[in-house]
Amino acid sequence: MKLIRHGAPGAERAGIVDAQGTPRDVSMLLPDIGPAQLDLRTLAALAAIDATRLPELPAGTRLGCPVGGIGKIVCVGLNYADHARESGLAPPAEPVLFMKATSSLCGPHDAVRVPPGAEKLDWEVELGVVVGQRMRAVPEGEALAHVAGYVLANDISERAWQMERGGQWDKGKGGDTFAPVGPWLVTPDELGDPHALRLWLEVNGERLQDGHTRDFLFGVPTVLAYISRFMTLEPGDLVLTGTPAGVGLGQKPPRFLRVGDEMRLGATGLGEQRLVCVAG
């Protein structure tokens, strides 16, 4: 099942994508797709609906982040050995964790703002995991049972702010529109194995990232169980699992986003994003 949220920013409504790929409105049955709607019972009831009887969305309808009310965004850094190498860092012995501000969330086709003073704006295609049930010190073998679904995400980063301004990484990660998510939330039964996904990203039509989740240093169950040892993960929380090689920082010479650049990215079963950079 693929779930969406559609409409103007801040006024998104619940939707679903039918088996033929047609986006439809389900807001007459569901107030939103957020923490309260991610329990197994609600998801099962949605899956039982004949989506073809629901109203089609008009062509060009904006899609927002497919999950509303996200409480926190927890990110895993350097989770692919090739990305660690291109960053000039050794692969970590344990998952590297950092946070992104929830105010950085935006839709899969929204404009990405290049903030004033930004000089090294970078891209990172990632698999995102949406928590469906509370996780606190959950064993690795039970972790996937707590997942509501998966999303495509772009962990946009201002590298100078992240790496050259002192302190921790967060200041280069939390700008407005630095977390495009979607187009869909795909439930685990439809996506299948999260370690069998190809991820890719293009800038202005040039393929720069082409990776695979089988190359994770720390797989999804490991990451979720590890995070849950240090903080409670609540329904609706979003975990970003890291990016493969090919980011702008790793190009020779390094290459960064400018106003007018277009990113296109995708992952197996998770759809695509198209994002244009604008002055912010």
What pLDDT, in 10s, does the model give residues 93-123? Answer: 999 999 999 999 999 999 999 999 999 999 9
Q: For residue 105, tell me if it sits in a domain.
A: yes
Distance separating alpha carbons of residues 161 and 195, to the nearest angstrom: 31
Predicted pLDDT at 166:
85
* Residue 236 DSSP class: T
Q: For residue 141, tell me if it sits in a domain.
A: yes
Structure tokens at 109: 């086709």
Give the number of domains in the chain: 1
> How many CB atoms within 10 Å of residue 97?
16
Q: For residue 104, tell me if it sits in a domain.
A: yes
Backbone angles phi, psi at 276, to 5 degrees: -105, 135
Distance separating alpha carbons of residues 234 and 253, to the nearest angstrom: 41
Predicted pLDDT at 192:
97
Q: Are 125 and 274 in contact (CB under 8 A)?
A: no
How deeply is 110 buried, as exposed, middle or buried, from its count of CB atoms within 10 A (0-12, 13-18, 19+)? Answer: buried
Cα dihedral 193, 198, 199, 201, rounded to 10, equals -160
State the average pLDDT for the chain.
Answer: 96
Backbone angles phi, psi at 225, to 5 degrees: -65, -40
How deeply is 107 buried, as exposed, middle or buried, from its count of CB atoms within 10 A (0-12, 13-18, 19+)? Answer: buried
Q: For residue 261, tell me if it sits in a domain.
A: yes
* Separation in Å, CA 139 to CA 42, 60, 128, 196, 226: 25, 43, 20, 22, 9
Q: Are 148 and 129 in contact (CB under 8 A)?
A: no
Predicted pLDDT at 215:
96
Q: For residue 86, tell me if it sits in a domain.
A: yes
What is the extent of the structural domain holding 166? 68-279
Task: Give the CATH number, domain containing residue 201.
Answer: 3.90.850.10
> How many CB atoms within 10 Å of residue 71?
15
- What's the pTM? 0.97
* Separation in Å, CA 170 to CA 50, 77, 94: 43, 11, 19
Q: For residue 140, tell me if it sits in a domain.
A: yes
Q: For residue 188, tell me if it sits in a domain.
A: yes
Q: For residue 17, tell me if it sits in a domain.
A: no
Q: What is the pLDDT along the chain (280 residues), one digit of tens a residue?
A: 999 999 999 999 999 999 999 999 999 999 899 999 999 899 999 999 999 999 999 999 999 999 999 999 999 999 998 888 888 888 899 999 999 999 999 999 999 999 999 999 999 999 999 999 999 999 999 999 999 999 999 999 999 999 999 888 899 999 999 999 999 999 999 999 999 999 999 999 999 999 999 999 999 999 999 999 999 999 999 999 999 999 999 999 999 999 999 999 999 999 999 999 999 8
